[in-house]
Amino acid sequence: MFILREAFRGLSKNKLMALVTFGVMFFSLFIFGLFLISTVNLFLLIQKAEEKVGISAFLEDELSDNEIESLKRDISSLMGVQEVIFVSKSEAFEKFREDLGEDSDLLEALETNPLPASFDIKLYESFKDPKNLESISRKVDAMPGVEEIKYGEEWVKILDRVVKVLVGIDLILGVIISFSSIFVVANTIKLTVFARRKQIEIMELVGATHRFIISPFLVEGVIEGILAGGFASGLLFGIYNIFAARLGDFIQVTRELFIIVVVFGTLLGYIGSHISVKKFLRAPIGTELPKGK
Amino acid sequence: MFILREAFRGLSKNKLMALVTFGVMFFSLFIFGLFLISTVNLFLLIQKAEEKVGISAFLEDELSDNEIESLKRDISSLMGVQEVIFVSKSEAFEKFREDLGEDSDLLEALETNPLPASFDIKLYESFKDPKNLESISRKVDAMPGVEEIKYGEEWVKILDRVVKVLVGIDLILGVIISFSSIFVVANTIKLTVFARRKQIEIMELVGATHRFIISPFLVEGVIEGILAGGFASGLLFGIYNIFAARLGDFIQVTRELFIIVVVFGTLLGYIGSHISVKKFLRAPIGTELPKGK
Amino acid sequence: MIQIYDTDVVFHKEWYALKNINLKIEKGEFIFVTGPSGCGKTTLLRLMYMDIFPTKGEVIVAGYHSSSIKSKEIPFLRRKIGVIFQDFKLLQDRDLFDNVSFALQVTATPRKQIKEKVLKTIADVHLSHKRDSFPYQLSGGEQQRVSIARALVREPFILLADEPTGNVDPESTKQILELLKDINASGTAVIMATHEIHLVKKSPFRKIVVKMGEVIEDTKDNLKEEIFLDNL
Amino acid sequence: MIQIYDTDVVFHKEWYALKNINLKIEKGEFIFVTGPSGCGKTTLLRLMYMDIFPTKGEVIVAGYHSSSIKSKEIPFLRRKIGVIFQDFKLLQDRDLFDNVSFALQVTATPRKQIKEKVLKTIADVHLSHKRDSFPYQLSGGEQQRVSIARALVREPFILLADEPTGNVDPESTKQILELLKDINASGTAVIMATHEIHLVKKSPFRKIVVKMGEVIEDTKDNLKEEIFLDNL
Ligand SMILES: Nc1ncnc2c1ncn2[C@@H]1O[C@H](COP(=O)(O)OP(=O)(O)OP(=O)(O)O)[C@@H](O)[C@H]1O
Ligand SMILES: Nc1ncnc2c1ncn2[C@@H]1O[C@H](COP(=O)(O)OP(=O)(O)OP(=O)(O)O)[C@@H](O)[C@H]1O
Ligand SMILES: [Mg+2]
Ligand SMILES: [Mg+2]
């Protein structure tokens, strides 16, 4: 087809420009991909950390099974509570021994089990902020039979602050990277079109329709975008694979991520070309006298 | 001066190009700066983590002060040992109580202090890898009066692996980002020069020396580089400042970092322009017949 | 075919490149537009292929009105017109053959037909031996003839020739004039701008003389030499 | 001043753009180079400002030898030469005044002197009223005169004029020829390529006729019209 032929002659005749466009796109998409991977893993990390957030309600020692049952029901019915797990005195001791690990020897010196029974209260995601934790904790604390409440106030506050900061930075970087990518790529393409503006002008004068002039540029842009996206995600995947074995599940990369990068590249190429070429088509009718560049 | 005047007319007459070059440089330098900040903080983090690496040598209960003194001297004389700190039985108990925090109540049930006295052995940075740790530990363990050795084998191995992976990724990313930046910026500049190649040719035909032609381009490149570097480090600093208060000393950014970014930008602009313009000066004498582009 | 009513063209405020032009050009006419350097010949032709629009007045070409034509229609107007540009306007990254065939490709002519027509036209302007050369490999006169070939290959209804003989020798000039007359004989209106008054002076065709943006003569009679002198 | 010995120029293998050229041009001469389109006039001039180098032979201009000149010396050779290019070669992003003054800026002439000289030269080519116009705002003939002004402003030892009257009317042509003769009278060698044989035919100056890349005539006598016909 004529347009495809034109696109390929455009690419091969203007190797420098094709190369630069490809390079800029590749770089942008690589960074974009890195950013995506970081973001996804950041959120996975946050999720993991938040999974650990929960409330422990320590019980008085002399509660009957019935009282425990009804207490459990009461707690479960609170808003935001997902699950309530009972931990008996002996389970608590066992867990403590495990936690101590090598130091556990010294528990043998103990004669009674000083640890209380407790409820581990798991909350829904959206209730894991300091405020909700506090209000739920207070409600549980007020229930009869509950001796003490612990939910790692300080730790939750730190986590909450860190998450907010990280998500904030991530958002800002995301906006900057996305916009910079689009801006830089679009303008690079504009530059390559600019270098051919005389040719575009001549085509118009010889009676080529705008579609006829634009189409090869669009095809060029899309080809470059797909290639750049492909190479960028290829490289990212390569780097990931080198370290994948050693990373365990510390960093995760999914196939969708690469598809997103390629799609973003294609869009960049298409939109960038479209905007750019349009700029160099002659001033539409009615505007003063043209050519003043 | 003529060259400065020419550089400024170049910038103002070719706003599109100046803007694109600036944009590409800015983007590259921003990413480069981000990378620098991440790297610096990564190394700070590693350093902090490695500071905690050390060997604990638990001593038999019935050692005399003299024996302890001589043991300390022996250990200090081992290669790689930086400092040896004695921790008495009571100090160990106090520390354990602190570590337990809220759970410390249950220590009151204890009647004797089951914890042994120990030496905390600090090592020089370069000896903090699993191999050296093991060999030093073995030597200490063999000394009379030492009951047991602990240096968190698993933890050290994990740390060592994570550090290697992170530094590896950091290096690869560093190489990719640096080279991509240079490649993309140099080629973008080449593109802007390409768009003015006719003008360069005409200047040569009218008798301008190569230096006369190149200089304004160099000045343009350097100006754009400085501006891009300045804006990039400004933005980085801005983002950092927004979150600085909340980050504590979690992420550190020094002034040198921004200077490096600006210097790198200036170099990019200078070298990029130099290479590019040279490309479009006429073929040197002796090469066939020119103009065949 | 072409009508121009009360048309002014003003590039800078208060400075008229063309002033109060009124022209009517019929199908199949052959017209010379002449006048001194910078008088407005090229500007007049640019009005006709709607590269510029009148500041005042109305230009009507092949049924399209300058006041109402849509962006989209301009390419179709231009396909009916062949233009030989004063500065050639060749595509620098295409060889001679591709430059000429481009004029047909935009109209989606079948490939075979393109090749046939292009080769014939290139032969007409005596450039068959240069068909693979790029514009920068051609002499000034050769580039001009490529521009001529590109305008002719589409067999347009209207041919606008802006100084088509400025860069060629007298012998080639004669040949090109013959070529234009031939295409005129087949029904195409030819409007040729030229400053070579001796070419025009005694020709039997209609002659339009422009000076300082105004038409000062529109006649089929012989022109007087003084027409170019400063003190008319 | 200029010597050319046994010089060939071959662009494509086996195809001679210039063949076996031997020329000697003295200080202060006025020479016409003429011949049909594509015969090699421009190529001959390009040899003289060392834009191209001979495939065979030697070109010596103002003491510089084509076989031994260094890259760095070329600008200094070119500063001794004024060139009027057939395709003008104007800097598109500078206005008329800057285009002309650029020729002086490269030689580091003091600013005041530049302004004075440039204004005078622009007046000589009748373009004072257009001094702020950019090339795309100028007519073909006006652009040609800018190119002329740029070549003249440096008061060169050698002036190479490649069809300096191709885009102007007969009246302007006469004026430009006068200008060239004036500068020649002040001691500058002028070499003017032209295809307007009627301009050259009866001139008393030396005339070099090139055809198919060879010099077929080098004389001060009148030329015969047939010289451009195909069957010489
Ligand atoms: N885009 C423009 N902006 C400003 N002035 C212009 C523009 N185009 C042309 N002019 C001016 O309009 C006048 C007429 O220009 P035009 O090109 O029509 O002349 P011309 O008759 O073709 O001359 P020539 O024989 O030299 O080609 C000239 O003085 C020119 O400087
Ligand atoms: N760079 C080049 N590569 C290949 N061929 C070339 C090149 N430059 C010129 N030629 C060919 O050399 C021949 C002489 O060209 P030249 O420009 O010297 O002609 P000319 O005498 O100036 O013609 P005109 O009067 O048309 O300007 C032409 O046939 C041209 O096609
Ligand atoms: Mg004109
Ligand atoms: Mg020529």
pLDDT recorded at residue A289: 41
Q: Are residues B184 and B241 in the same domain?
A: yes
Give the Cα separation of B285 and B204 in Å (integer).
13
Query: What DSSP element (H or E) covers C217?
Result: strand C214-219
Give the Cα separation of C216 and C229 in Å (integer).
13
Q: Are residues B226 and B180 in the same domain?
A: yes
Give the nearest chain C residue to A11 (CA atoms).
C93
What is the whole-number distance in angstroms between the Cα of residue C126 and the centre of ligand 2?
14
Dihedral of CA C101/C106/C107/C113: which sign?
positive
Residue B285 has pLDDT above 50, yes or no: no
B34 assigned to some structural domain: yes
**3-state DSSP assignment of residue B56:** strand
Q: Is the Cβ–Cβ distance between C177 and C165 less than 8 Å?
A: yes
Task: Write phi, then psi, for C16 (nearest 5 degrees).
Answer: -90, 120
Q: Whose CA is nearest to atom 11 of ligand 2?
A: C138
Tell me whether B195 touches chain A (CB under 8 Å): yes
What mean pLDDT do residues A243-251 have?
72
What mean pLDDT do residues C38-49 have?
94
Which of A98, A131, A150 lies at the terminal end of a domain, its last residue? A150
HSE-up (13 A, CA, CB side) for residue B28: 37
What is the whole-number distance in angstroms between the Cα of residue D37 and the centre of ligand 4?
7
pLDDT recorded at residue C231: 43
Dihedral of CA C121/C124/C128/C131: which sign?
negative
Q: Could you give the ipTM of this predicted complex? A: 0.85
In ligand 2, the atom with minimum distance to the C-alpha of D44 is 18
In ligand 2, the atom with minimum distance to the C-alpha of C141 is 26
- Cβ of B202 and D93 within 8 Å? no
pLDDT classification of C162: cutoffs 50, 70, 90: very high
What mean pLDDT do residues C175-190 have?
94
Does D139 contact ligand 1 (Cβ within 6 A)? yes
B230 assigned to some structural domain: yes
DSSP state for residue B283 in the 8-state scheme:
P
Give the Cα separation of C20 and C43 in Å (integer).
13
Least reliable range by pLDDT among A124-133, B78-87, C56-65, C189-198: A124-133
**3-state DSSP assignment of residue B251:** coil
Non-local (6+) Cβ contacts of B226 within 8 A are B262, B265, B266, B269
> Three-class SS string for chain D?
CEEEEEEEEEEECCEEEEEEEEEEECCCCEEEEECCCCCCHHHHHHHHCCCCCCCEEEEEECCEECCCCCHHHHHHHHHCEEEECCCCCCCCCCCHHHHHHHHHHCCCCCHHHHHHHHHHHHHHCCCHHHCCCCHHHCCHHHHHHHHHHHHHCCCCCEEEEECCCCCCCHHHHHHHHHHHHHHHHCCCEEEEEECCHHHHCCCCCEEEEEECCEEEEEECCCCCHHHHCCCC
Ligand 2 — pocket residues by CB below 6 A? B 291; C 130, 133, 136-142, 167; D 11, 17, 35, 37-43, 86, 195
Mean pLDDT across chain D: 91
Please state whether D126 falls in left (phi above 0), alpha (psi between -120 and 50) or beta: left
Tell me whether C93 touches chain D (CB under 8 Å): no
pLDDT recorded at residue B107: 65
Tell me whether D92 touches chain A (CB under 8 Å): no
Task: Write phi, then psi, for C147 (nearest 5 degrees).
Answer: -60, -40
Give the Cα separation of B1 and A6 in Å (integer).
46
- List CB contacts (< 8 A) between D9 and chain B: 289
- Cβ of A206 and C107 within 8 Å? no
Least reliable range by pLDDT among A92-101, C54-63, C70-79, D143-152: A92-101
Q: Which residue from A201, A207, A286 is facing C75, i.e. has the nearest CB?
A: A207
B290 assigned to some structural domain: no
Tell me the whole-structure pTM to 2 decimals.
Answer: 0.86
Domain total of chain B: 2
Q: Which residue from B2, B209, B290 is facing D75, i.e. has the nearest CB?
A: B209
- Cβ of A206 and C78 within 8 Å? yes
Q: Is the Cβ–Cβ distance between A113 and A127 less than 8 Å?
A: no
Give A 60-99 residues with CB within 8 A of chain B.
Answer: 96
Query: What DSSP element (H or E) covers A97?
Result: helix A89-100
Non-local (6+) Cβ contacts of B245 within 8 A are none
- Cβ of B290 and D52 within 8 Å? yes
Q: Are residues B165 and B278 in the same domain?
A: yes
Interface test with B, best of D93, D98, D155 (most B CBs within 10 A): D93
pLDDT recorded at residue B293: 30
Residues with CB under 5 A from ligand 4 (ion): C 139-140; D 42, 86
Q: Is the Cβ–Cβ distance between D17 and D213 less than 8 Å?
A: yes
Q: How many CB atoms lie within 10 A of CB D90?
A: 25
In terms of C-beta density within 10 A (0-12 exposed, 13-18 middle, 19 or more buried), how is residue C208 classed? buried
Which of A121, A150, A179 lies at the terminal end of a domain, its last residue? A150
pLDDT recorded at residue A292: 33
Interface test with B, best of A15, A26, A31 (most B CBs within 10 A): A31
Q: Is the Cβ–Cβ distance between A118 and A87 less than 8 Å?
A: yes
B291 assigned to some structural domain: no
Q: Which residue from D49, D52, D106 is facing B212, i.e. has the nearest CB?
A: D106
Q: Are residues B118 and B223 in the same domain?
A: no
Give D 68-87 residues with CB within 8 A of chain B.
Answer: 69-72, 74-79, 81, 83, 85
Where are any strands of DSSP class E within chain A?
Answer: 54-59, 81-87, 118-123, 146-150
Give the Cα separation of D35 and D200 in Å (integer).
11
Q: Are residues A116 and A181 in the same domain?
A: no
Q: How many CB atoms lie within 10 A of CB D202?
A: 9
What is the whole-number distance in angstroms between the Cα of residue C226 and the centre of ligand 1?
22
Residue B262 has pLDDT above 90, yes or no: yes
- Cβ of C35 and D11 within 8 Å? no
| More confident: A108 or A233 | A233
Q: Are residues A42 and A60 in the same domain?
A: no
- What is the per-residue pLDDT across C5-20, written as a single tens digit (0 to 9) for each? 999 999 887 889 999 9
- What is the per-residue pLDDT across A6-41, written as a single tens digit (0 to 9) for each? 888 888 888 888 998 999 999 999 999 999 988 988
- List CB contacts (< 8 A) between A37 and chain B: none
- List CB contacts (< 8 A) between B204 and chain D: 74-75, 78
Q: Is the Cβ–Cβ distance between C131 and A231 less than 8 Å?
A: no
Q: Are residues B205 and B130 in the same domain?
A: no
Where are any strands of DSSP class E within B46-205?
Answer: 54-59, 81-87, 118-123, 146-150
pLDDT classification of B250: cutoffs 50, 70, 90: low
Tell me whether B8 touches chain D (CB under 8 Å): no
Give the Cα separation of D231 and C177 in Å (integer).
20
- What is the per-residue pLDDT across B225-236, written as a single tens digit (0 to 9) for each? 999 999 999 999
Tell me whether D136 touches chain A (CB under 8 Å): yes
Q: Is the Cβ–Cβ distance between C61 and C77 less than 8 Å?
A: yes
B109 assigned to some structural domain: yes
A12 assigned to some structural domain: yes
Dihedral of CA D58/D62/D68/D69: which sign?
negative
pLDDT recorded at residue D214: 93
Domain of A167, in residue numbers = 2-49+160-282
What is the whole-number distance in angstroms between the Cα of residue D38 and the centre of ligand 4?
7
- Crossing angle of helices A153-194/A15-51, nearest 10°? 170
Q: Are residues B142 and B80 in the same domain?
A: yes
**3-state DSSP assignment of residue A63:** coil
Give the Cα separation of A98 and A79 in Å (integer).
33
A173 assigned to some structural domain: yes
- What is the per-residue pLDDT across D80-96, written as a single tens digit (0 to 9) for each? 999 999 999 999 989 99
Query: pLDDT > 90: what percent of chain C?
Result: 77
pLDDT recorded at residue B106: 63
Q: Whose CA is nearest to atom 14 of ligand 2?
A: D40
Q: Are residues A167 and A223 in the same domain?
A: yes
Q: Whose CA is nearest to atom 17 of ligand 2?
A: C139
- Cβ of B30 and A180 within 8 Å? yes
Domain holding B144: CATH number?
Answer: 3.30.70.3040
Tell me whether D229 touches chain C (CB under 8 Å): yes
- Cβ of D169 and C195 within 8 Å? yes
In ligand 1, the atom with minimum distance to the C-alpha of C210 is 21
| More confident: A136 or C122 | C122
Tell me whether D107 touches chain B (CB under 8 Å): yes
Nearest-CA distance C165 → chain D (Å): 9
- Cβ of C85 and A205 within 8 Å? yes
DSSP state for residue C158 in the 8-state scheme:
E
Tell me whether C35 touches chain D (CB under 8 Å): yes
Residue C165 has pLDDT above 80, yes or no: yes
What is the whole-number distance in angstroms between the Cα of residue D141 and the centre of ligand 3?
7
pLDDT recorded at residue A51: 80
pLDDT classification of A291: cutoffs 50, 70, 90: very low
Interface test with C, best of A285, A287, A288, A291 (most C CBs within 10 A): A285
A292 assigned to some structural domain: no
Q: Are residues B9 and B84 in the same domain?
A: no
What mean pLDDT do residues B91-96 have?
82
Residue B111 has pLDDT above 80, yes or no: no
Q: Are residues B43 and B80 in the same domain?
A: no
Q: Is the Cβ–Cβ distance between A287 and A200 less than 8 Å?
A: no
pLDDT classification of A249: cutoffs 50, 70, 90: low
Q: Are residues B76 and B44 in the same domain?
A: no
Which of A150, A173, A193 lies at the terminal end of a domain, its last residue? A150
Nearest-CA distance A244 → chain B (Å): 9
Give the nearest chain A residue to D94 (CA atoms).
A293
Q: Which of B272, B205, C133 is nearest to D150 (CA)?
A: B205
Q: Whose CA is nearest to atom 31 of ligand 2?
A: C138
Does D142 contact ligand 1 (Cβ within 6 A)? yes
Q: Whose CA is nearest to atom 17 of ligand 1?
A: D139
Mean pLDDT across chain B: 84
